[in-house]
Structure 1
Amino acid sequence: MNKEYSGLVKSLVRGAAAATVAVLALSSGAASAEERACLGRLAPISGKVTTNAIGPGETLGVLAGKIDDKLKLNCGIQGKAFFNPDGTFGGFTHTLVCSDTISEFGQTVHSQVVALSRYDGMPQFTSCGIPGMDMQYGSFREITEPQSGRGIFAPTGGGRLEVEGTVNCAGAVDMKIAGEVCLVY
């Protein structure tokens, strides 16, 4: 990762724009998430994510989507930035908790996924031009790999999602997701 790109990414994470981008980022050149083997069934997933920055390097929002083009998902999503051991921007950890419920051992379980996300290529960001603030807007592409789950999602993770997103100067992030996720049923 070159110094100019590394400096840009560090600046984004420190500023409010970094928090807005914290939704599902995947970074080429940074340490990649280990792709997990699916110990269940890979199923197609698609959806839309809308989030807002709630602090530097952190976002909170919602995901509305479908699995197998029939099972509807309504989930909350929280994103938190992380750094590689060398101090460079590593990506985001995203946690989704969904409104569905299943019963395991007589207890109610809400489906949940924890995923690692990194930029796929160079994001296309431009300064918002607000004096004293490092706000940026633009578009990005990400790859997200589920690392663990509960409820309908495999405890071991598995699958891969591609994300197309935009961030604006108000701190809103809009994304479309498509890919596969590992299910236990």
Structure 2
Amino acid sequence: MNNDNPTLVNSLIRGVAVAAVAALAMASGTASAEEAPCEAPGRLVPISGKILTNALGPGDTLGVLSGRIDGQQNLKCGLQGKAFFNPDGSFGGFTHTLVCDDIAPAQYGGDKIHSQVVSISRFSSVPDFRSCGIPGLEYGSFTEVSDPQSGRGIFSPTGGGRLYIDGTVNCAGAVDMKFTGKVCLVP
């Protein structure tokens, strides 16, 4: 390799570094191969839809989810994403919290509540990100799996199921995603 062109050498070094970081994030942040079971009295049902979010700052997103659950019920939910890191400091994924616009009975006390799910999302393959030409900004596509950990309202308090997500992010920080999968509902 000719070292006479420092711009080319620096670009190659950066490209290798980005690939190494993505591979490390993938290896250390990959989701388990199995979806969480649905504990009684919950039942596993299909879910699909789209998610539109914006990056608010490093590691924070805020947006909306719209979709269908169990082939019939429409969902409209707010979505907050918070990045988390593995013990070795590598990117681990996002904790996503959804709160929906429905009114459901609370599990205890006879009160009403808005349905909620907390889910852990991790890359399921190495993301295809490219530089926007501004340090720290990237665009591209990614795939994730998201495992519901807990719920309220219509969702099982013990979580369960799994979502499969395909998404893109642009240089302005808009993130568009489509998802399919299964989630646990309570009667």
- TM-score for both structures, normalised by structure 1: 0.83
Over aligned residues, Cα RMSD in angstroms? 2.2
The CA deviation at 1:37 is: 2.1
Would the aligned equivalents of 2:28 and 2:86 in 1 still touch at CA under 8 Å?
Answer: no
How many angstroms apart in 1 are the aligned matches of 2:31 and 2:65? Answer: 24
Aligned to 2:44: 42
Q: Is the 8 A contact 2:52 2:176 kept in 1?
A: yes
Structure 1 residue corresponding to 2:133, chosen from 129, 152, 163 = 129
Closer/same/farther in 2, CA of residues 122 and 8 from structure 1, 3 Å limit: closer
After superposition, the Cα gap between the structure-2 partners of 1:184 and 1:27, relative to the gap in structure 1 and judged at 3 Å, is farther
Structure-1 separation of matches of 2:23 and 2:30: 15
Q: 1:30 corresponds to which residue?
A: 29
> 2: distance between equivalents of 1:66 and 1:93?
22
Partner of 2:102: 100
- Offset of residue 88 of structure 1: 1.1
SS at match of 1:100: coil
Summarize the alignment of residues 11-160 of structure 1 with structure 2, pairs less than 5 Å apart: 27-30=26-29, 32=31, 35-39=35-39, 40-104=42-106, 105-130=109-134, 133-160=135-162
Q: CA deviation at 1:29?
A: 3.7
Contact 1:48 1:175 in 2 (8 A): yes
Structure 1 unmatched runs, 5+: 11-25
Unaligned runs of 5+ in 2: 1-15
Give, as a single letter, the amino acid of the residue that structure 1 aligns with 2:148: P
Identical-pair percentage:
60
Task: Return the alpha-carbon distance in structure 2 between the equivalents of residues 45 and 35 of structure 1.
Answer: 14
CA distance in structure 1 between the partners assigned to 2:30 and 2:144 by the alignment:
14
The residue matched to 2:38 in structure 1 has which SS? Answer: coil
Tell me, what secondary structure is at the counterpart of 2:29?
coil
How far does residue 103 in structure 1 lie from its aligned partner after superposition? 2.2
Structure with greater contact order relative to length (CA < 8 Å, sep ≥ 6): 1
Shift of 1:87: 1.0
Question: Relative to structure 1, is the Cα distance of residues 121 and 9 closer, same or farther in structure 2, using a 3 angstrom cutoff?
Answer: closer
In structure 2, C-alpha distance between the alignment counterparts of 1:113 and 1:6, rounded to whole Å: 33
- Are the counterparts in 1 of residues 96 and 118 from structure 2 also a CA contact under 8 Å? yes
CA positional deviation for 1:35: 4.4
1:38 maps to amino acid: C
1:108 is displaced (CA, Å) by 1.4
Q: Distance in 1 between matches of 2:23 and 2:169?
A: 15
In the alignment, which residue of structure 1 is the partner of 2:10?
A: none
Runs (4 or more) in structure 1 with deviation over 4 Å come to: 2-6
